[in-house]
Structure 1
Amino acid sequence: MAAPAMEDTYDKVLSAAVELFGEHGFAGTSLQAIADRVGVTKAALYYHFRTKDELLDALLRPALNDLDRVLDTAERRKGQAVRQRVLFEGYVDFLLRYRTLAVILDRDVSVGTHRAIRPRLESITERVRSVLDDTERPIEQRVASTVAMGGIYSAVAVFTHLPDDELRRVLLDIVRRLLAPRRARPAAADPE
């Protein structure tokens, strides 16, 4: 049986790492376990990744680059409402595209706090806050934006059985309703 091509092995290692991180967590997965899942020697795996940190970076870098592009697009738009709409739509699409990684990040705190990616995640979080937090808006709308952002992430991680298009539709509808400007309610009548 011929040895797999180098590019093929690289992709297989990434796929196996995602599977095993999902099953056993980042800390609970060894490079040897990944090599075994792929069917290569540990030396063959070392050709591509010397450490699990390098492997984690290779897994998350494309996703985080895509999230940076979503933020770039939102930040360039005029008007707070438009920036937020673009951010929420892009964020939902991003999470659905990287659903498996989102679930791993949600369930394995060690990945999101890992020194290899933590500074990048902190930078992204700060950029998201700057798009969401408009001090000119009432506090209820500012809190609703934050709740929507966290809720989207949680829903993608929890409702893994829903097809992408259905979950996207539901999430964006909920975000629109949550962020819709509220009309002032009339004051309650004084009891006699």
Structure 2
Amino acid sequence: MTASSAGSVRRGRPGYDRADVIRVGVELFNQQGYDATSVSDLTSRLGVTKSALYHHVDSKQQILEIALEDALGGLEQAMDAAQRQPTAAERLRSIIRGAVHVLTQRQPQVTLLLRLRGNSDIELAALERRRRFDHMVTALVREAQSEGLVRADLDAGVATRLIFGMINSVVEWYRVDGPVDPTLLGEEILAVALDGLRPR
């Protein structure tokens, strides 16, 4: 099933909508693992029959596909926005801010993405998209090195992993209803990442 058909609107049982099914599915996948979650687990958590569940989605695989598209699509949109900036320094700052924004706004979906093991075609395709994103960020780091924003003696790939290791760790502690402002968080991560990488 394509992403476009996966995202089409479907009617279902009154009292539940497709967003509820996706949300609960992602919660369960993150709590007990995608492979360990059965359709029965989903229907039990929602309190619906299998036929009612299938009014909203075709399978648990479709829930995974929709959730991963939400996460990856957000990161790719952030990259597109970053690429429109005039300098490498601004592009790198933009993608760091954008990635933090996606993570805080779509935390469950990004958490699911970060925990993929590549056990299905859907997961393998998502991991390949994530690798392409990582390579594009590494290219931005190299460009920023050429402009003097990032130390030239650092390996661009390692620097990218360190930056996104810090960003990705946010999924473990950030809470939407917590005291941390997501916009301020982006600026704080930006300051720590780039100030620590500046030439001396």
Same fold (TM over 0.5): yes
Deviation at 1:116, TM superposition (A): 5.0
Q: Scaled by the length of structure 2, what TM-score is found?
A: 0.75
* Structure with greater Cα Rg: 1
Per the alignment, residue 173 of structure 2 pairs with: 159
Per the alignment, residue 191 of structure 2 pairs with: 173
Per the alignment, residue 138 of structure 2 pairs with: 129
Q: Scaled by the length of structure 1, what TM-score is found?
A: 0.77
CA distance in 2, matches of 1:112, 1:147: 26
SS at structure 2 position matched to 1:115 = helix
Per the alignment, residue 60 of structure 2 pairs with: 52
CA distance in 2, matches of 1:104, 1:164: 22
Per the alignment, residue 150 of structure 1 pairs with: 165
Residues 53-78 of structure 1 show CA distances to partners (whole Å, capped at 9, x for unaligned) of 21111112122222111100111212
Query: Does the CA-based 8 Å contact 2:21-2:53 persist in structure 1?
Result: yes
Indicate yes or no: 2:11 matched with 1:4.
Answer: no
Query: Does the CA-based 8 Å contact 2:96-2:186 persist in structure 1?
Result: no
Deviation at 1:14, TM superposition (A): 0.9
Of 119, 125, 133, 2:128 maps to 119
Matched residue type, 2:192 = I
| Aligned CA distance change for structure 1 residues 159 and 168 (closer, same or farther; 3 Å) | farther
Quick check: 145-154 or 65-74, which moved more?
A: 145-154
Query: Does the CA-based 8 Å contact 1:105-1:112 persist in structure 2?
Result: no
Q: Equivalences for 1:88-99 in 2 at 5 Å?
A: 88-99=96-107
CA RMSD between the two structures:
2.6
SS at structure 2 position matched to 1:133 = helix
| Aligned CA distance change for structure 1 residues 116 and 124 (closer, same or farther; 3 Å) | same
Query: Does the CA-based 8 Å contact 1:132-1:146 persist in structure 2?
Result: no
Q: Which runs of 5+ in 2 are unaligned?
A: 1-12
Task: Return structure 1 stretches of 4+ with deviation > 6 angstroms.
Answer: none
| Aligned CA distance change for structure 1 residues 131 and 75 (closer, same or farther; 3 Å) | same
Indicate yes or no: 2:107 matched with 1:110.
Answer: no
SS at structure 1 position matched to 2:58 = coil
| Aligned CA distance change for structure 1 residues 163 and 26 (closer, same or farther; 3 Å) | farther
Deviation at 1:40, TM superposition (A): 1.4
Per the alignment, residue 81 of structure 1 pairs with: 89
Matched residue type, 1:144 = A
Query: Does the CA-based 8 Å contact 1:74-1:131 persist in structure 2?
Result: no
| Aligned CA distance change for structure 1 residues 105 and 118 (closer, same or farther; 3 Å) | closer
Residues 5-50 of structure 1 show CA distances to partners (whole Å, capped at 9, x for unaligned) of 5xx3311111111221121011111122112211111112122322
Q: Equivalences for 1:21-32 in 2 at 5 Å?
A: 21-32=29-40
